A and B are shown apart, each in its own frame.
Chain A
Amino acid sequence: MLPPGQPPDRNPGTLPTRERAVAAYRWMLLARILDDKFASLYRGGKIHGGVFLGRGQEALSVAVGLALKKGDVFAPLIRDAAGRLAFGETVLDAVRTYLGSPLGPMRARDGNVHRGRPREGYLPMISHLGAMISVVNGTLLARRFKGISGTVGAACLGEGGTSTGAFHEALNQAAVEKLPLVLVVANNHYAYSTHESRQFACRSLVDKAIGYGVTGHTVEGTDLAACLEVLDEAVNCARSGGGPQLVVAQLLRLCGHGEHDDAHYIDAKLRASRDGRDCLQVAAEWLRKCGWADTATLAQWHDEAVEKVETTVAQVQREPGPDPFAENWRALATKHLHGAYASA
């Protein structure tokens, strides 16, 4: 057991296996292709509302999703398409939610990145940054009450979200309750257009771990191998009773805040830095270097992913949209209260 606030020493011996690396890469690839398709559907006028992509953040995201097991809790944020797929979300659920299908998990009542299956530990985010963390805490608290041990909850956030009271309150709560929470902060240097210098004044966000009395980790978010290693470590540490873990990753989003945003404000020097690398290319290079995939294999995976996304989009586009007259317009689960509730 590590003392709180002290990052563990990295064990260079625990490199990911080929199987794990390939799985991670293929989820990243699928997420990238899915995201690109959403952007295209948005530009084609097929998606109502915003489209928020995870381009450039797939390596970190997939590492979170893969580190979690069935039975764990996952509260992703807007740039976690890869992590969502790795955690078990289907492409069909994602497409149905973006296209507002009543057959999707949110039944057209909520859309785009606000999707999940809470009964399966996959929490649908609300827009208020930091709000998901205490909810993950609650699920973990519930498991403690029920005598369930060995499960972990992960919540994702950007560096901008660390400015909120909710971040502070929930991380402090997790620390007080010694919950198996893994809080993953993707520092992509910009919260929408605002540079990190306007969000925090500490040397590194991981320094906050000491203040809360939790274990801190840092990772290079563009390096899949490092992400898999660090996230596995953090999740395992939480799972084995090490208390909350704060993981801070450095990376850059290679797109706008949403598809409506051209990200012109991002510093060109940053784009050219290591943080500005495309994690998907870095991962492909890594697989090739390890001899786990050749160019032909990579191309084949790409084509399979495209096929999967295209088939699913085609299917969902043929599905009927929601019918406002068939909608029950009921906000209460308690049916007998609805009559008195709804009038006017």
Chain B
Amino acid sequence: MSITYLEAIREAQARALADDPRVFIYGQDVGAFGGAFKATKNLAVEFPGRVLDAPISEDAMVGAAIGAAIEGMRPIIEMQFADFSTAGFNQIVNHAAAFYWRTDVPCPITVRLPCGGTSGSGPFHSQSMETIYAHYPGLVVMTPATVEDAYSMLLEAVAIDDPVIFCEHKYLYYHLKAEALPKEALPVGKARIARAGRDLTLIAYSAMVHEALAVAEELATEGTEIEVVDLRTVKPLDTDTVMASVARTGRVLCVGEAWPWGGVTAEVIARIASEGFDLLDAPPQRLNAKDTPVPYHPNLWMVHRPTSQSIAAAVRQLLRR
């Protein structure tokens, strides 16, 4: 048997619904239709009355989730695309994120964001939103890169008492497969050494972890050992694992599919520069999407975001410095 990243997300939700009567799913087309990406396929049948189609209002969806969470429920909100979550931005960042701080009452909502680019999706169906949510205190931002993490982290997202922005990468939905669902998992808040190396640390999260691993594979044939760190959660950020890796290699490239300005990669590099300057053999570097909206045509799109080719080129350049 094998299971895709998308199926893992569906299975995690099925398990959460089965194990916890407080869980319900609310989102556009999530009911009988099973979601735009089929992440809630058959759940409305298996869990009658607990998987609800929402009117097209991200604001009201999140607002309702907050109200339900205050009442002790554990709502899962599916945004049809991460890009659309801006329409519910106010409720997420001003209401959900600040709620525990203001009131001492937890606001355990999970907002699922199908994010990241796939070819041909254009400016409004391709965005990576982790940066903007990571900026706000009170939110946990998860960016699973593997089938196993998609499953275990989503379960943990539902279980923890804080609002979670769960960034699931659309490209990984069908392209990534695992043998089985995981039996155990690293806790949320811990990064993972996806591949050990000694010459350079490649820090990535979400789909970029796979691009980074491909680069590590390629450079291994040339005798260069790249260490790949999968951040898993971008907030909180596991600085310890990052710093330990940089201490081993002295060189670091942080890769993100999101835009460069004030982003996750900027935060990682800032922390390395301020806390780990003496560990560095070369200037810490980052590689992001270009600072333009996400383009439509595949020829443009594939150059807009970091790819294994552009990462490899950046790695080679950094190794020479």
Contacts and interface: CB of A to CB of B under 8 A. Distances in A.
Interface of A: 73, 105-107, 109-110, 114, 116-119, 123-124, 126-128, 131-143, 145-146, 165-166, 169-170, 172-173, 176, 330-334, 336-341, 343-344
Q: How large is the interface on B (under 10, 10 to 19, 20 to 34, 35 or more residues)?
A: 35 or more
A141 B25 CA distance: 12
19 contacts: A106-B102, A106-B103, A107-B104, A116-B103, A118-B99, A131-B63, A131-B95, A134-B61, A135-B63, A135-B91, A137-B60, A139-B67, A139-B68, A139-B70, A142-B67, A173-B54, A332-B162, A340-B237, A343-B239
Given A166-B59, A334-B161, A138 B94 contact: no
A336 B189 contact: yes
A137 B63 contact: yes
B64 A141 contact: yes
B90 interface: yes
A145 B188 contact: no
A131 B90 contact: yes
A168 to B, nearest CB: 8
Among A109, A133, A138, max chain B CB count under 10 A is at A138
Interface string B102-124: 11111110000000000000000
Contacts of A341: 189, 235-236
Nearest to B26: A141
Contact of A172 (B55, B65, B73, B137): B55
B66 interface: yes
B101 A139 contact: no
A344 B274 contact: yes
Contact of A131 (B68, B91, B104, B137): B91
A313 B161 CA distance: 35
B100 interface: yes
Contact of B160 (A131, A136, A334): A334
Interface of B: 24, 49-50, 54-55, 57, 59-73, 75, 90-91, 94-95, 97-108, 137-138, 140, 160-162, 187-189, 235-240, 270-271, 274-275
Contacts of B189: 336-337, 340-341
Contacts of A107: 104
B173 to A, nearest CB: 27
Contacts of B100: 331-333
B102 A134 contact: no
Q: Top 4 A-B pairs ranked by shortest CB distance?
A: A138-B67, A134-B63, A142-B71, A138-B64
A336 B188 CA distance: 10
A176 B53 CA distance: 10
Contacts of A139: 67-68, 70-71
A145 B73 contact: yes
Contacts of B137: 331
Given A137-B64, A172-B55, A128 B70 contact: no
